[in-house]
Amino acid sequence: MGKNTDKRMRVLLLAVVTLLIPFGIYAQADDLQAVARSVSGEVEYRTADGDWQPLEVGDSLPKGATISTGFHSSAVLEIGQAVLEVAALSRMTLDELVDRGGVIETDLFLEVGRIRADVKRTSNRRQNFRLRSTVATAAVRGTSFSFDGRNLQVYEGVVALSNSSGRTALIPAGNKSSVSGSEAPLKAQRAAQEAVLVVHDTAIKATEPGEQAEILVVEDDAIEFDADVPISTGTVVVEFE
C-alpha cells in the first residue's frame, strides 16, 4: 500500500513539474516595443492589423509594426539598448522584439532604404540583433553599422554578413562589404572615412586627415553628416572620430 502511494505521488509530482516547465519558459519572455525618439518629415507606421498613421515622438511600435519614411524624412527608434536611424525612403518591419530572460532578441526586415544601427553592449543583457533584407542578413551582438539590404559599413564592433544561402563573412569596424545574389559576401574592405562641414550653402568635404578639402556647392539637405567637424573661421580643420 505504501509503495503504491509513493509511486502515485512520484507520478503526480512529475506531471506537475512537466506542466510547470513550459509556463516557466514562457514567463521569461517579455515583449518589447520600439519607441520613436525623433521624427523628421513625413514618417508613417502601421501595426500588423492596422492602418497607416503618422509617427510622432513618443509613439511605441509593437512587434509586427512597419515604419515608412518619405522624401527628406527620417526617424530615430530606440529598442532597449539599440538605437536605429531610419533614413529617407525606407520601409522596415519589426518582426521580433522580445526579452528572453535577459537576452534581447531583435529581428528586423528592411524592405527598402537604409538603416544605421547602434547596438550597445551591457553587462547584464545580451543583444541578438538581426537586420535582414531579401538578399542579406546583418547579425550583431553590440556594434554600430549601416545597412541598405546589400551594402554594409561597420563603425564599431564586428558584424556577421550573410547571404540568402547562409554564406557568412565577418566584417570588423572600419570596413565595408556587400552581397550580390547567391555569391558569398565580399571580403572586408577598408571604408574611407568622410567628414562634411556645411558653411551656409557650401560643403567642405575631406576623406582622409590632412587631405586638401574639396569645395562643393550643394543644398543643405543634400549633406550627410558622417563625422563631427569643428567650424572655424579662416582655416578649416577636419577631425575624424
Query: What percentage of the chain exceeds 90 in pLDDT?
Result: 39
Q: How far apart are CA 140 and CA 215, in angstroms?
A: 37
At residue 19 the predicted structure's pLDDT band, cuts being 50, 70 and 90, is very low
φ, ψ of residue 142 to 5 degrees: the values are 110, 90
Bigger pLDDT: 222 vs 67: 67
Q: Assess whether pLDDT exceeds 90 at residue 132.
A: yes
Asked if pLDDT for residue 225 goes beyond 90, the answer is: no
Separation between Cα atoms, residue 106 and residue 171, nearest integer Å = 20
Query: Which pLDDT score, from 0 to 100, does residue 44 have?
Result: 98
Q: What is the mean pLDDT of residues 120-124?
A: 71
Query: Which pLDDT score is estimated for 218?
Result: 34
pLDDT of residue 189: 78
- Tell me, which fold does domain 31-190 have in CATH? Jelly Rolls (2.60.120)
Give residue 41's pLDDT.
97
Pick the more confident residue, 124 or 175: 175
- Looking at residue 213, its amino acid is A
Query: Residue 130's pLDDT is what?
Result: 92
Which residue pairs, CB below 8 angstroms and at least 24 apart, start in 161-168?
161/136, 161/137, 161/185, 162/136, 162/137, 163/135, 163/136, 164/134, 164/135, 164/136
pLDDT of residue 142: 65
